[in-house]
Structure 1
Amino acid sequence: MRFLLLGILCLLGLGVTSLFIGVSDVSIASLWASGPESRSVQILLSSRIPRTLAVILAGASMAIAGLVMQMIVRNRFVEPSTIGTVESASLGFLTVTLLAPDWPITAKMLVAAIFALAGTALFLRILRLVPLRDPLLVPLIGLMLAGVIGAVTTFFAYRFNMLASLLAWSMGDFSGILRGRYELLWIGFVGMVLAWVAADRFTVAGLGQNLTTSLGLNYNAVVSLGLIIVAVVTACVVVTVGMVPFLGLIVPNVVSLLIGDNMRRSVPWVAIGGACFVLACDIFGRLVRAPYEIPISIVVGVIGSGVFIYLLLRKPYDAR
């Protein structure tokens, strides 16, 4: 409990730091000396606070989505960006943008979630058809599927002159977050709560279908719930801020090394760790080339790819 409180204090510290980093002058002194209608207060309310909340919600929800996916597939190398879920959500968002551009953003998010769910289900179906003698084959199959779906998405984006929009969706970036443009991420928070409520069921499902059934649980229902949570969270993040690669891979693996595989115990740690990690990367991206920014997907991608390579180089049984 003491270390969990330290994690919460770390999250609060990073969150407060994020509020006062940026091109515009927003400081405690300027806020104290100005009125409620001043520029500093308006920037804080309309940009800095929404951005910080968006970073926290996106980081925590994507980390939880990765944890749920790893429990379902029983492999430490999987997460939404390595099995085609993110690419499927992008394909769905592109499809609904082309066919129904006037639909509200919530409806587009639902379509993206349906595509993400279909892509994830296709990945699980392929796993059932392929004999897996090595856990390294699982992420390999996922990356190949993600490449195919990404190629199809790029083809249609090129065909209909939407490559610029696709690049914006695929490049995770919080610089455009304002009040009124991040609220979909609260749906991801609801997904985190559902994952915590069903944590014991996901833990049992991670033991395999036969053992889950023998313990009286409906394995298919638990897996379906997990897929829905992963798909909805991924769609919310992709539609709002774009792709944040490898986040669901790094944090759950680090937490698993520290406290084990009990999901009930891991969920708070994974959520706080994901939020802190993305906040730290976002602050770094804003400071290293100030007043310009490095997109969050680049910072997280560089760190995440290094961790992914490290995990791949470990002994095969460590991935299970």
Structure 2
Amino acid sequence: MGRTAETVAVPAIDPQSLCSLETHFIAPEIYRRDDVAARQANLARIVSNQIVPRLLRLHTEVVADAPPVTVLIEALAPSRADISALADIVLGTDLEAAAAYVVVLRDRGLAMETLFVELLEPTARHLGEMWTNDECDFIDVTLGVARLQKLLAIFNETHDEPALGSRRRVLMAMTPGDPHRFGVTMVEKFLLAAGWQVQTELSSTADEIVEAASGTWFAVAGLTAGSDRQLDTLRSTIVRLRARSHNPAIGIMVGGPMFTANPALALEVGADATAPNAPAAVLVAQKLYDLAAPTLRAEPA
């Protein structure tokens, strides 16, 4: 059994620090909109009409003689309901509540790697599906994904080092021979909105992609492939990227329908990770950045 709720401590995340992180993870223009009041009212209706009744039913009807809610939450493992609930939280503004939820799961013995795979990345993917289904707009999803980035950075302890923030650079490119631009354009859009510096190569040859990575420091490179006909070219491009990159610890993520159907294919072509949609790609980029953070600290900016 896990520890009781009284022994669980939330990381020291004060509201002022959370506010300052908004400028680190979210592009300022995201806030320039005129429908804030309507969106807040809509969120309040969702909480009142859907979330609260579900919590009350869980606590009073499903579980007989239910223990305190804090103990009940501790007993839960990530599930589809948990993913949906975390998505609702990050669509709001209470990041402390989201952090407390992650702490509960982590302190039950779940490693951050497990939480990333089973909770955080699926939540980002869920936000992307909500956007596709017109359940929320681009701004909502961007803010939600940016808050998931903050959670990941907080728990990986890379959120309080300003020098590293200037290195959140991504090289996005299409595998030579891939004519489908929509996917890479969407990933670029979400990365920019979530505060990343992005250079995109839409019509480059393999030589030009490698040259871009060798001439400029990038934390992450993202490559898309539209069909299995590009896999050999993608594999060879990745080998050359790693050999020539200005950042020897560059993280490489890949995307495309083949990787959505078979995520293990990403490792087969030499990449570090894949993401099934644009919001999830933002979180994968943050994960790769966090993994390389110890190396980045040792290098000059």
Same fold flag (TM > 0.5)? no
More helix by share: 1
Q: Larger relative contact order (C-alpha < 8 A, sep ≥ 6)?
A: 1
More strand by share: 2
Q: For this structure pair, what is the TM-score category when the shorter chain's length is used for normalisation?
A: under 0.3
Q: TM-score, normalised by structure 1?
A: 0.25
